[in-house]
Every structure is written in structure tokens, then in C-alpha cells.
């Protein structure tokens, strides 16, 4: 018998039926800290360690795209001290993970209104994206200053301008054309959405792209989330029948 439960779950996974694209709403950092009478920033610090562990696990398992909701357009309304701490953590993460991304064939990508991020963070993002642009393993797709409605508005504006200019015939506007005007234009939609901390909401995340994603909500708070639970969720995903609105076999 295998005494290591995580490795037995790992070998249990069907490599032919892995989700190509996994998206995660990383929620519960604040509650994790509150339960321990820490300030919220400590929760985000512990949450960044989970980010590292889940990026590594995704690469090892063979997931091709991991989209993490790291900062939403609504998060700009949090207290300035928390926003600054999150930006500092993000910058630290980018600096500390640069070698790991290069050594492990990880390509960094971002979606969202990244022009709103502080200049030093944008610089690190640009640098990591440039250095990793040729990597073909896991795509780590960070949603930063991201909002699903804002993304759709941006796409609609771009399409409207092309229609006015006569570059698009309104009759040729299809779901596929809209997808091509989203931040995720080059990516297939997520197969699986995971949300931690038990909230049953999408919170303005990938509103268009999640149309047929499988959803898994776990009560675990993000700082407590780990590889073993991730494996169990992937195993559960593999047992689901995806019908995309059609009838089953
Ligand atoms: C939600 O928890 C989490 C966030 C708003 C930010 C996510 C950020 C990290 C995991 C750390 C930094 C990111 C990277 C990529 C290094 P919450 O604060 O809403 O928790 P609560 O609902 O319990 O208050």
C-alpha cells in the first residue's frame, strides 16, 4: 500500500482528462488572519505561500493554464495600507519566482487593467513576462486589477469602433469574435473554477469565459489550501460528465 496519500491521488489522476485551464478565486486570507488574531496582511502573506505551492503543483501535474484572481477592480476600494501590502507582496512574488519560472518552463501572463498598478510592480511584471515569453510549459495567468464586466465593456467598445470604421460587419459578430476581444483571447475557457472559503459567488471573475466551466467551492480558506486538496478536486473533476448543454451519451 502506498503510505503517501498525495502521491497515490496523483498517480490516480487520468493524464488524458486533466483540466487544460484551471481558474481560482483565492478567497479567505482575511478570515484566516482574523481567526488567529493577526492583521489581514498576515493572511495575504500566508496566501502568497499558497500561490507558490499551487503554481508548483499545477506544473508538476501537467495543467497548462492556471489563472489566479489576485486583485480585482473592486479591491482598489480596500484601505490603502492593505492595497500597498498586496502590491508589495506581488512584487516580492515576481522577484522571488523569476528563477523558478525560468527553470520550470513557466510563462507569466496577466489579464486586467494592469496600467492601474504602481509603476514598480508593472516594471517587474514586464520583466518577468519578457524573460518567460518563450516558455511553453504552464502559463501562469495573473488576474490583476481585473473585472469581468470591465473586460466585456472593453471588448464591446473595440468591436463597436471596428464596426463604425467598417472593419467589422455587425452580422459577423459571434461569440467567437467576442472571445477574441477579451484579455484571454489566446486561451481556451477554464475547464474548472475553484473558489476557496465557501462563498457561492463568481465576484466579477471571467464572466464570459466561465459559461461551461465546472465549479468547485471548498470551505478551506486560501492560506490553508494545499496540494492534497487540489488533487482531490482534480479527481472529483475527472468523475464529472461535461455535457456543454447537450444530453449525455
Ligand atoms: C481574498 O481574500 C484575497 C485577495 C483579495 C487577494 C489575493 C492575494 C494573494 C493570495 C496574495 C498575493 C498574490 C500573489 C499572486 C502573490 P480576502 O482578503 O477577501 O479574505 P476575506 O474574504 O476572508 O476577508
Instruction: Indicate which CATH number applies to the domain containing 191.
Output: 3.40.1180.10
Helix-helix angle 80-103:119-132, to 10 degrees: 20
Q: What's the confidence (pLDDT) of residue 7? A: 47
- Tell me the catalytic residues: 27, 75
State the Cα–Cα distance between residues 189 and 185, nearest whole angstrom. 9
Residue 45 lies in a domain: yes
Count CA within 13 A, CB hemisphere, residue 239.
Answer: 8
Q: What's the confidence (pLDDT) of residue 245? A: 81
Residue 139 lies in a domain: yes
For 146, phi then psi, to 5°, come to -105, 140
- Assess contact for 95 and 61: CB atoms under 8 A: no
State the Cα–Cα distance between residues 215 and 190, nearest whole angstrom. 10
Q: What's the confidence (pLDDT) of residue 164? A: 96
Beta bridge partners of 183: none
Domain that holds residue 135: 19-198+208-238
3-state secondary structure of 61: helix
Please indicate whether residue 46, judged by its CB atom, sits closer than 6 Å to ligand 1: no
Number of domains in the chain: 1
Please indicate whether residue 30, judged by its CB atom, sits closer than 6 Å to ligand 1: yes
Looking at ligand 1, which atom is closest to the CA of residue 222? 10
Residue 2 lies in a domain: no
Residue 244 lies in a domain: no
Percent of the chain with pLDDT over 90: 91
Residue 157 lies in a domain: yes
- Assess contact for 202 and 210: CB atoms under 8 A: yes
| Cα–ligand 1 centroid distance for 72 (angstroms) | 10
Q: Whose CA is nearest to atom 12 of ligand 1?
A: 48
pLDDT in tens, 109-153: 999 999 999 999 999 999 999 999 999 999 999 999 999 999 999
Query: How far apart, in Å, are the Cα atoms of 26 and each of 16, 132, 142, 230?
Result: 27, 24, 12, 13
Ligand 1 pocket test target in 41, 47, 84, 124 with most atoms within 8 Å of CB: 47
Residue 4 lies in a domain: no
Where does the pLDDT of residue 246 fall: very low under 50, low under 70, confident under 90, or very high at 90 and above?
confident
Ligand 1 pocket test target in 45, 67, 70 with most atoms within 8 Å of CB: 70
Please indicate whether residue 138, judged by its CB atom, sits closer than 6 Å to ligand 1: no
Residue 186 lies in a domain: yes
Please indicate whether residue 51, judged by its CB atom, sits closer than 6 Å to ligand 1: yes
pLDDT in tens, 49-106: 999 999 999 999 999 999 999 999 999 999 999 999 999 999 999 999 999 999 999 9
Residue 9 lies in a domain: no
Amino acid at each position: 500500500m502506498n503510505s503517501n496519500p498525495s502521491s497515490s491521488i496523483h498517480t490516480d489522476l487520468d493524464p488524458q482528462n486533466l483540466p487544460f485551464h484551471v481558474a481560482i478565486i483565492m478567497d479567505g486570507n482575511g478570515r484566516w488572519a482574523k481567526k488567529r488574531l493577526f492583521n489581514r496582511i498576515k493572511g495575504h502573506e500566508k496566501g502568497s505561500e499558497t500561490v507558490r505551492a499551487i503554481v508548483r503543483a499545477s506544473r508538476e501535474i501537467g495543467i497548462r493554464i492556471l489563472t489566479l484572481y489576485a486583485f480585482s477592480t473592486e479591491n482598489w476600494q480596500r484601505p490603502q495600507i492593505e492595497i500597498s501590502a498586496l502590491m508589495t507582496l506581488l512584487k516580492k512574488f515576481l522577484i522571488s519566482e523569476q528563477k523558478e519560472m525560468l527553470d520550470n518552463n513557466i510563462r507569466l501572463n496577466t489579464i486586467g487593467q494592469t496600467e492601474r498598478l504602481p509603476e514598480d510592480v508593472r516594471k517587474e511584471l514586464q520583466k518577468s513576462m519578457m524573460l518567460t515569453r518563450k516558455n511553453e510549459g504552464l502559463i501562469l495567468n495573473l488576474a490583476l486589477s481585473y473585472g469581468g464586466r470591465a473586460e466585456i465593456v472593453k471588448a464591446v467598445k473595440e468591436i463597436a469602433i471596428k464596426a463604425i470604421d467598417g472593419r467589422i460587419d455587425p452580422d459577423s459578430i459571434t461569440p467567437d469574435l467576442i472571445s477574441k476581444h477579451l484579455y484571454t483571447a489566446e486561451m481556451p475557457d477554464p475547464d474548472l473554477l475553484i473558489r476557496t472559503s465557501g462563498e457561492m459567488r463568481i465576484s466579477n471573475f471571467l464572466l464570459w469565459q466561465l459559461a461551461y466551466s465546472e465549479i468547485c467551492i471548498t470551505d478551506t480558506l486560501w492560506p490553508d489550501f494545499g496540494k492534497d486538496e487540489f488533487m482531490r478536486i482534480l479527481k472529483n473533476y475527472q468523475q464529472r460528465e461535461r455535457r456543454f448543454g447537450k444530453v449525455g451519451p
